[in-house]
Structure 1
Amino acid sequence: MKKFKLFSALFILFTGLLSAQKLGVVDTNYILSKLPQYKDAEDRLNAQIASWQTEIQTLQSEFDKKKLLLENERVLLVGDQLKQRQKEVDDLDKKIKTMINNRFGSLGEINNARSNLTKPFQDQIWNAIKTVSEKNSLGIILDKSNNISVIFLEKRYDYTDKVLDLLLKNSGSKKAESPNRPNRNSEDSREIKAKMMKEEGTTKMESIESKKAK
């Protein structure tokens, strides 16, 4: 009961603080996606991922052929011939597994590259958000991208476009879209589709690993 009362008191206090402050919301993921420099870096990374996927798929096809050929000719091979052919298949199998782990594993090159992709832009976005918050006398700014579920948001509380415009102005870039920009909430389905496409590569790698495990 005491814990419940304490929680209720803290909730009321937090609600009071929010009501006393001018609130703003930004979507940093949307901002990143509209920065030309970030999009260029992401395109280069996606091109590299596609190249790695093709390379692994080529090696996988080569492995499947060699393994099938070995099984078909196993009764005809003896001694060192059998050992050599088996070693070739095993070495290729090991090479593919190592490549998948190094590039697509939880600590692989792709995850590291994605985590480092936003770092050069973090200070720029933070400084732009700070400038916009000071200009509009905002006491609290929430990031819609940071695990905050915003069911409904009045446009006057959304400062994403103001932050983006400031960043593009400072970088000398043109606005990412026309003045009549579509509501970002209407882009949710396209964002989900894009996310699924990015994850498709990982799914393919998992499929290869599953097939090899069998």
Structure 2
Amino acid sequence: MKKIAFIVTILFTATHIYAQKIGVVDTNYVLSKLPQFKEAENRLNTQVTQWQADLQKLQAEYERKREAFENEKVLLVGDQLKLREKEIVDMETSIRNTIGARFGTNGEVNQLRSNLTKPYQDQIWNAIKTVSTKNNLGIVLDKSNNISVIFLDKKYDYTEAVLNLLGKSLPKVEETKTSIPNRGGRPMNSNKNGKLKSNSASKKVAPIESIQSMDVKGN
């Protein structure tokens, strides 16, 4: 008897899920079409480019001083040698800490990006909720979140409906500017992941080419 009841429950649940009307929305596409978001994103990209340039300058200065130290250390003795070696090690640590603080997993770039997208994500969610209610949707999938959609009839794609609803409710670009702080000249705090302990001044700092090509549009 329990077995029969269990089977009936499974069949009822499966039938209920199957009966739900499903819709699909591409939230990344919606974001890319919002002029307010694109304007703020461009300013974020500008800030990241500036930080990359600052790191390039620090890297070049470090390489210059490290090379000079390697060439001259045979002539240095006592405290003079220790001071020059400490200067190189401190520069190396500063560069690694800056990379971690700005470009690490919990760094400033990701924090600024999160602050940038959250207000628009909230508005998109509200628009999706409105469209779902209007079209009696029981389930809405976001096809921008690694969901493999093999086939999709256009009548079940509500991306444009959400975008049109947002277009009517969003304020003008001038009213939604997001402030991106410029901290180019301000020293960064140490980051747990970025901190380096080194006992040798001859150790090179890892190149930052990967940071220079970083895609600031998301993880």
Deviation at 1:19, TM superposition (A): 3.2
- 1:110 paired residue number: 109
Q: Are positions 1:86 and 2:85 aligned together?
A: yes
Question: 1:181 matched to which residue of 2?
Answer: none
Q: Does 1:72 align with 2:86?
A: no
Pairwise CA RMSD: 2.7
Query: In structure 2, what is the equivalent of residue 56 of structure 1?
Result: 55
Between the two structures, name the one with larger relative contact order (CA 8 Å, sep ≥ 6): 2
Aligned partner of 2:196 in structure 1 is none
- Would the aligned equivalents of 2:36 and 2:172 in 1 still touch at CA under 8 Å? no
**Among the aligned pairs, what percent are the same residue?**
58
Letter in 2 for 1:89: I
Gaps of 5+ in 2: 1-5, 174-207, 214-219
Query: What one-letter code is carried by the residue in structure 2 that aligns with 1:87?
Result: K
SS at match of 2:48: helix
Question: TM-score if structure 1 supplies the norm length?
Answer: 0.71
- What is the deviation of 1:13? 5.1
Counterpart residue type for residue 79 of structure 1? G
SS at match of 2:96: helix
2-side partners of 1:94 and 1:206: how far apart?
19
1:39 and 2:45 equivalent? no
**How many angstroms apart in 2 are the aligned matches of 1:63 and 1:128?**
51
Write out per-residue CA displacement over residues 86-112 of structure 1, whole angstroms, 9 at most, x where no aligned residue: 222111111101101111112211122
Partner of 1:153: 152
TM-score, L = length of structure 2: 0.70
Code of the aligned partner of 1:32: L
Which residue is equivalent to 1:162? 161
Contact 2:22–2:138 under 8 Å retained in 1: yes
3-state DSSP class of the match of 2:100? helix
- Cα separation, partners in 2 of 1:14 and 1:103, compared to 1, 3 Å: farther
- Distance 1:57-1:115 versus aligned 2 partners, 3 A rule: same
Q: Say whether the 8 Å CA contact 2:52–2:212 is kept in structure 1.
A: no
- Report the CA distance between 1:117 and its aligned residue: 2.4
How far does residue 205 in structure 1 lie from its aligned partner after superposition? 3.8
Indicate which of 172, 191, 210 corresponds to 1:204. Answer: 210
